[in-house]
């Protein structure tokens, strides 16, 4: 299991919102979907848009630049599942949100 790093407190990310955080110098998009937290690569694979600033619709986030959507549970783009963003493990410890970079994470 990769090392988990505290990136936020639970109350800083209300349900239905997201933000960009740094994990070991890498920008990660972190979201709260009805109390479940998800973390993905912040960089949209289309043209580099900031997914942490995207609009949430359930477990889908829409890139703020051109509207590509990604499923936070899988990292896949529903319109074309061959296009993905990396997903990161998330753990809640007390009121801390902790994220790990998987070994396969590459930017
Ligand atoms: S940069 Fe994300 S949809 Fe274009």
Here the CATH number for the domain that contains residue 80 is: 2.102.10.10
pTM of whole model > 0.85?
yes
- Ligand 1 contact, 29 CB (< 6 A): no
- Given a cut of 60, whether residue 107 has pLDDT beyond it is no
- Centre of ligand 1 from the C-alpha of residue 96, in Å: 30
- Centre of ligand 1 from the C-alpha of residue 56, in Å: 15
| Nearest residue to 90 via CA among 18, 36, 24, 17 | 36
The verdict on residue 70 lying in a domain is yes
Q: What is the pLDDT of residue 72?
A: 98
Count of domains for the chain:
1
The verdict on residue 104 lying in a domain is no
Containing structural domain, residue 67: 5-99
Q: In what order do the strands lie in the sheet with 87-88?
A: 17-23, 26-33, 36-41, 87-88
- Centre of ligand 1 from the C-alpha of residue 26, in Å: 19
Q: In what order do the strands lie in the sheet with 5-9?
A: 5-9, 96-99, 90-93
% pLDDT > 70, the chain: 95
- Ligand 1 contact, 49 CB (< 6 A): yes
Q: HEC states along 85-103?
A: CCEECEEEECCEEEECCCC
Convert the pLDDT of each residue in 41-63 to its tens digit.
Answer: 999 999 999 999 999 999 999 99
């Amino acid at each position: 299991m990769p090392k988990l790093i505290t990136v936020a407190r639970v109350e800083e990310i209300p349900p239905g919102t997201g933000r960009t955080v740094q994990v070991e110098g890498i920008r990660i998009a972190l979201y709260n979907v009805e109390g479940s937290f998800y973390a993905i690569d912040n960089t949209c694979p289309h043209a580099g848009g900031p997914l942490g600033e995207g609009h949430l619709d359930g477990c889908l986030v829409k890139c703020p630049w051109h509207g590509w959507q990604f499923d936070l549970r899988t990292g896949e783009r529903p319109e074309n599942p061959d296009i993905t963003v990396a997903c990161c493990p998330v753990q809640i410890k007390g009121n801390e949100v902790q994220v790990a970079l998987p070994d396969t994470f590459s930017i």
